[in-house]
Amino acid sequence: QVNYVRVDLGDPKVRLRVVLGQDRVGGTEDLLSMAARVGGQAAINGTFFNAYVDGPLKDPVGTLISGGEFVHRGATGTVFAVAAGNEVRMEPARFKIVGATDGLWTWPGNWYSYWINRTPTSTNYAGIFTP
């Protein structure tokens, strides 16, 4: 069975938005419940998640950006982007997050972060957490 939604993105009453399960990265929730919670008429699963890990949080696999800000940086895949005026694009997710300590952009003062808001899986995890 295939379900689809046809939407006129040129209609000014149409709004698309990112909704997180249980309002948090890694939260799981039925799509119907998520749509109802925000007054939506339809819901589309935006990415896969780690469904078979123990614990209450199931990290997304893909990248999630909402309001122009990273919510979660995933490891792979394509980003479904909705810009101003409901302009829609699908593009490969290629992001690089680097920083410097005391203005040193070369070793040993530079650093990179591969993840944003992802559950650490080892003691040498390099990630960023946002509120």
Query: Average pLDDT of 111-130?
Result: 87
Cα–Cα distance between 8 and 28 in angstroms, integer? 29
Residue 5 lies in a domain: no
Residue 33: predicted pLDDT = 96
pLDDT tier for residue 74 given thresholds of 50, 70 and 90 = confident
Query: Average pLDDT of 104-123?
Result: 89
Residue 39 lies in a domain: yes
pTM: 0.78
Contact assessment for residue 55 and residue 48, using Cβ atoms and an 8 Å cutoff = no
Residue 131 lies in a domain: no
Residue 109: predicted pLDDT = 92
Residue 66 backbone phi and psi in degrees, to 5: -135, 130
pLDDT above 90 as % of the chain: 37
Beta bridge pairs of residue 60: 49
Summarize pLDDT for 17-69 with one digit per residue, the tens: 899 999 999 999 999 999 999 999 999 888 888 888 888 889 998 889 888 88
Residue 25: predicted pLDDT = 92
Residue 88 lies in a domain: yes
> Which domain does 65 fall in, by range?
21-93
pLDDT above 70 as % of the chain: 100
Contact assessment for residue 118 and residue 129, using Cβ atoms and an 8 Å cutoff = no
Residues 6+ positions from 117 with CB-CB distance below 8 Å: 25, 70, 71, 72, 73, 127, 128, 129, 130
Low-confidence winner among 9-18, 33-42, 85-94 (lowest mean pLDDT):
85-94
- For residue 83 the two structure tokens come to 């810009």
* Number of structural domains found in the chain: 1
Contact assessment for residue 20 and residue 71, using Cβ atoms and an 8 Å cutoff = yes
pLDDT exceeds 90 at position 125: no
**CA dist list (Å): 29 to 22, 93, 115, 129:** 6, 25, 23, 22
Residue 121 lies in a domain: no
Mean pLDDT of the chain: 88
Alpha helix segments (H runs only) across 3-119: 31-37
